[in-house]
Every structure is written in structure tokens, then in C-alpha cells.
Amino acid sequence: MDKYATLNEPQREAVMCTEGPLLLLAGAGSGKTRVLTHRIAYLIEEKHVLPWKIMAITFTNKAAKEMRERVERLIGAGGQDVWVSTFHSSCVRILRRYIDEIDYDRNFSIYDTDDAKKLIREIMKEYNIDPKYFKESMILSEISSAKNQLIGPKAFQKQADGDMRKEIISRVYIEYQKRLLKNNALDFDDLLCKTVDLFEQRPKVLEYYHNLFQYIMVDEYQDTNGVQFRLVKLLADKHKNLCVVGDDDQSIYRFRGADIRNILDFESVYKNAKVIRLEQNYRSTKNILGAANEVIRNNRKRKVKKLWTDNHEGERIHHVQVNSEVEEAQFITDTIVRGIEDEGHEYYHYAILYRTNAQSRLLEEGLVRAGIPYRLVGGVSFYQRKEIKDIIAYLKVLNNSTDEVAAKRIINVPKRGIGATTVERIQEYVNISGQSFMEGVNDIESIPNISRGKKNVAEFAMMMHDLKAFADRGALKRLMDELLERTGYIESLKADDALKAEERSENIGELVSKLYAYVEDREAAGEEPSLNEFLEDVALVADIDQLEDDDNKVILMTLHSAKGLEFPVVFMAGMEDGLFPSFMSMNSGLIEDIEEERRLCYVGITRAQDKLYMTSSRSRMLYGNTNYNPVSRFVSEIPAELLESNSVSGQSDIQENEPMNLIEERARRKTAFKQKPYSTVTASAIPAPEGVVLDYAAGDLVKHPKYGIGQVKLIEAGGADYQVTVNFPSHGKKKLIASFAGLKKI
């Protein structure tokens, strides 16, 4: 029992309360993962429950991995048999085994948002729906919201009840689901919906999982939506040994369909449920927790709880008001420089959080000017890059030949002389014959009105047939090597854009490395590698899962992205009414909207371990408009004794009682940038290029199409052109040819 002795009393009670429904209200930083992992260990070691009889569901791969590793450290090898995974991964695992019971094939494809939008776009074109009035993203969002509440296409159509807008969306929804079925594909929402359908339509399948899972635990229960609520209830109906862990004060995903009522009404749904509150915080200082408690207590719809800690008092919350968003960025970068130089901090100790992505630009520019490396969370993720999606589309077709979206993506990538007209002819043919798109490709000789492209289509079909042989026998390494060689994809990158070819080739190399590592891991475990499984792994990776713990960079992200993370020093930028809380929430007239914004503020505050800075600007330009907004009401909800307010004047950046070394450093940097420390073109024996004029000089900030924002360090004459050396905080120093670089001065 030694391992349980370190738990506090409520934690220990939660670990040992194993039978019946349990609601664990776990405040921010209260050690909920520790409780869950110890609870699993207790079930196995003290209650003698078989590991595979326990299911633990999380929301991110990162959380699932951490939980799995902690369980293994606690109990050893037996921890590997506990079912620990995300909602989506759990559903994929179930569907791979039983989806053929509801008219799908087990080799189904998983469509991401981009794939789904392409399918919606095709349907809109066929139905003559004007994209000016109906954006595919809006239609997809409506469909997703319906699925989150288990509202199918026919039910959605019935609800339209004469509403022309909803009638049009329902027509698209109905056709969208038909196309997904034809393509043997599921979107992310379907992974959950089809699992619920499977359980409700096939009681024997549900009975199998009832017998399999005797104990079920769900993390972040406040973030569950309607379909997730239904899924959990179906799984837990037999044994009722359901433990849900969450914090209603951190429910911030209503825009994604999360329903706070799932946690607020838990005791009504599950009679005789026990409720345990974890209120001791191990993360933050007393002052930070005091501020968080005082802000969130203004919400009405919440379960009463109050975080406390044995940690030290700490500094008061720093609220700084500046004149403009430029000064805001300057203050933040100055504070980071001081922390690095004088306080021994590392870059990764700092996080800059903001309400909207639009705020990041000036913050990025400020970091670049100060030479501070940073990581922007929420940009184009690795798996959304064109070259990666192209190669994955090949793998998808080889795994699931009915995937029409993937097949159309690659039929002429790289270019092989198959034009849009040929693709349309194939589509018309399969629409009449009822075949899949790839069946039409393989039957190209039977399709009329195709002449010039027929030979090219036949060669494409033969190549895919040859590659399929490697996929079918599980030779995934050889498959990838042959795919790249037979398609000539990397050579085509060089022909299309030599400047970007190197980076894109490196990205493909990273994908190849991932596949090789996957194969080697499976073989080391004595298991057969599976293309299905590899594609699942790729499809279910979230952006936040790729945030490396050992990456020594300042983190920039939205407040929504920050949940679940913690940092020694946090900046909450843009603390103004109209920005945070947003105008939309302030003007909606709904108390739920302001309360969700307040919960988002609470999440931001509780990310901070030691120091918290809140910054407000008297004027701010967003989306081309200058706004003059008062300080956020959330700042005013923090008691004066917990708050230290400063105002930075536009006439002088120097604050009262500011350390002299920071004043001198700021003055030095300002002078350096005004005087441009480098000449526009360095002296060189090579003559300056004729007819080449640059609109930027050394020291300027520029933006590159791929590398983002950087600072010009050196410009050298190179005969016919200039060679420009630019330092990009996210990619390091790059030497670029001016005429091809596409650099734009900021």
C-alpha cells in the first residue's frame, strides 16, 4: 500500500472508491492523472481485476500516452493490457473489428476536415449551390454539430420544417453520407456516431464489450458532447462502474459541441453517484489560485469548489496597460529577455496566450526582433502539408480502393497527362455503372469519349496494381520505397519549385522515417505491421500532441489550445472587453456565452505556475480596424490585494522603479534598430546585380512563404542576384536567392 500513502485524503478516497458511478471533480493542477493511474493500479493489485477489463478514455494521444506510461511504471508490464486511448482511437479499434455488421468494410478510410470539405464541394457543385451564400466550411460545421447530437440526415431534414437554409444543408447532408458510404469512408464525427449505431443495432456486439469492460474511466468529462455521452452510457450500462473525471470550470469547447450539462447533471443521470472534490492544487502559487477562484466564482452555472495550495504566496498578478499592441509585444519580449538574463529562466518556461489567432502576428514580430526562438501552436500541421497529404492519399487508395476523394487527389499527381475532362468522364461512367472510382480507372478501356488520356490512366492503374501487392503482404517499407520511386514524386517537386523542393523532400523523409519506426516497433513486439493501423495513427494525431516537451522555445497559442498544459511564466495578452470577453459573447444577451469566456479566462490563469502577466492595450488594430476598449472585466474581478497594476506610457517605455539594466538594454536595442546595424549590401569584390532592387535592408523583418517571419542579417552581391541571409526563429538561418525567395518586408 506504500504507493498510495503519498496521496492526499480525497485522492486516496477516489482511488479506493471502485464500485458504482463516481464523479471526480478535479480542479486545475489537482493531480487527476495521478489519481486515475493509481486507481487503475489499485483495481489490478488490490481488487485483482484483470488489466484488460479496465478502460480509460482521454481526449488527446498525448494524455493517453502519459497515462499508459504512468500505469506501467506503477504496476509493471501488466499495465500494457489496460485499454487506454482517446475516444476516436477507441472507436476505430471497435469499428475495425465489427463495422462490417453495419454495411461498411473494415478497411475504411478516415477523412480529415480537408477531405470532407472536398466532398462537400463536389456535392455543392452538382446541386448548383452557390458558394457565395453557402460556404463548404459552414455546411460541414452544421453537419458536424448535428452528428455531435446524434441527429442523422433524415432527422435533420425533418427539423428544417420549411427553413430554406436548413433544407439546402439537409440535402447536402443526405448526399454526403451516401458518398461516404460509397467511398467506404468515415469522417471524425462518424467514428463516434457509427460506434453508437453499431452498439444500438447489434446488441450482441454491445454485450461483448459489456463483458470485456468491467470498469470504465473517462477523463475531461466536461468536454464530452452528446454522442460521447451516449457512447459512455452504453458501455457502462451493465456494470455501472463508471468514474468520470472533470472540472465544469474548465468547460471551454461549447463551439465544438461540448455540453457542460453532461457533468453538471451526472448525479441525475446516474443515481446514487458518489461525488469527490479534488481541491488541493500542486501547480500554482497562492496568489494565482486566489485570482482564479475570485474570477470563476462570478459564474452561476457551476459546482461549488475552491482551489487551495500549500505552495508559497508568490508574486501578485501583474496587470500592465500599454498604449498599443506594438507596445504590448515590446513589453512581453522585454520581460522574457530579463527573465532569461537575470532570473535563469529558459525559453520553454514562457507561454504567451491570446484569445484569437489574429493577435499572434505582432507578438511573433516582437520575438523575432529580440532574437527569441518560439513555437507557434496552431499553424499548418505536418500532416496537412500538401506533399504529406499526397503520399498519404496514395496509401489510402492502396488500403481502401473505394476512397474516391483520395483517388481523385493522386490520379494526376505528379502530373501524368490525365486532365480534368478525363476525370469527369470516369466519374460519369461510374455514376451510371455503380462502380467505385478506382474500378472505373481499372476499366478505362470501356469508357467512351476518352482518347488522349486513356493510355496514361491505364499506366496509372497498372502502377497502383503493382504497389497493391506490397501493401497486401504487409511489406510497408518496400511499399513506401517503391511508391516514391515509381511515382517520381520527389523529382517532380524539384521540377515544380526548386526553392521549396528541399524542405518538402525533408518532410517526405520524415514521413518515411515515421513509417519505418512504426514497422520496427511492431516487429519488435512480435506483431504484424498493418497499413490500416499506420493510417489510423496518422489520422488521429492532433496538433497539440506534437508539442515537444524538450523544445527550448517560447510557446505561442490560443487560450483554447492551452488547456491541460502548464508553464512557469504565462502572459495573457489582449485583456480588453470586446476582445476577451469577445464582442459576440458580450452582445449575445446569453449568460452562457459570458460564462464560457470566464471559464476560458480561468483556464488561462491556472496555466501559470509562478508568474502571471495580463496585458491590456488602450488601442488595438484588429482586422483593419482600430478599437478603443476598456480593460477586461475579468481583470477587474481580481481583488486589488492580488493585483499589481502598471501603465506603460507611449512617451516612455520606462516603468517606475524599473531595473537599470533593463532600461539600458531596451535603449540599446531601440538605437540599434533605428540605425540599422548592417549596411544594405555588404562590400564585395563581386559586382552588384543590375536591375535587381530590394525593398528591404539588413535588420528588417521579412516574411517568407514557408519559413514565416524572420530578420534579414546579411545581403551579399552575387553577380546576377543577391544572396540574403535571414534568421527565422522557427527554422534557423537560411541563405536565399533574392529573386526566388518571395521575401516581403513587414
Alpha carbon distances (Å) from 217 to 20, 195, 349: 12, 18, 32
62 belongs to the catalytic site: no
73 belongs to the catalytic site: no
315-345 core/surface letters (b: 16 or more CB in 10 A; e: else): ebbbbbbbbbbbbbbbbbbbbbbbbbeeeeb
User: Which three cell numbers mark 485?
Assistant: 520511386
Short-list 484, 480, 479, CA closest to 505: 484
Work out the number of other CB atoms within 10 angstroms of the CB of residue 158: 11
33 belongs to the catalytic site: yes
Work out the number of other CB atoms within 10 angstroms of the CB of residue 491: 14
Residues 6+ apart with CB under 8 A from 483: 391, 394, 395, 467, 489
700 belongs to the catalytic site: no
Q: Is 417 left (phi over 0), alpha (psi -120 to 50) or beta?
A: left
> Where do we find the cell 506534437?
546
DSSP type of residue 351 = E
CA dihedral 586, 570, 377, 34 (to 10 degrees): -100
User: Which three cell numbers mark 630?
Assistant: 476598456
Catalytically annotated residue among 12, 18, 33, 157: 33
Rounded distance between C-alpha atoms, residue 23 and residue 507, angstroms: 44
Residues 6+ apart with CB under 8 A from 630: 576, 577
**φ, ψ dihedrals at 120, nearest 5°:** -60, -40
Catalytically annotated residue among 195, 228, 250, 422: 250
80 belongs to the catalytic site: no
301 belongs to the catalytic site: no
Rounded distance between C-alpha atoms, residue 428 and residue 435, angstroms: 10
Rounded distance between C-alpha atoms, residue 520 and residue 528, angstroms: 10
Q: Is 295 left (phi over 0), alpha (psi -120 to 50) or beta?
A: alpha
Rounded distance between C-alpha atoms, residue 52 and residue 212, angstroms: 7
Helix (H) or strand (E) holding 549, with range, is none
Catalytically annotated residue among 396, 553, 607, 620: 607
Q: Is 333 left (phi over 0), alpha (psi -120 to 50) or beta?
A: alpha
User: Which three cell numbers mark 335?
Assistant: 520581460
Sheet strands (E) in 402-465: none
Residue 495 class from Cβ within 10 Å (0-12 exposed, 13-18 middle, 19+ buried)? exposed
Catalytically annotated residue among 142, 175, 190, 219: 219
Catalytically annotated residue among 11, 32, 53, 402: 32
Rounded distance between C-alpha atoms, residue 119 and residue 178, angstroms: 11
Catalytically annotated residue among 115, 220, 597, 700: 220
User: Which three cell numbers mark 234?
Assistant: 452504453
Catalytic residues: 32-33, 219-220, 250, 607
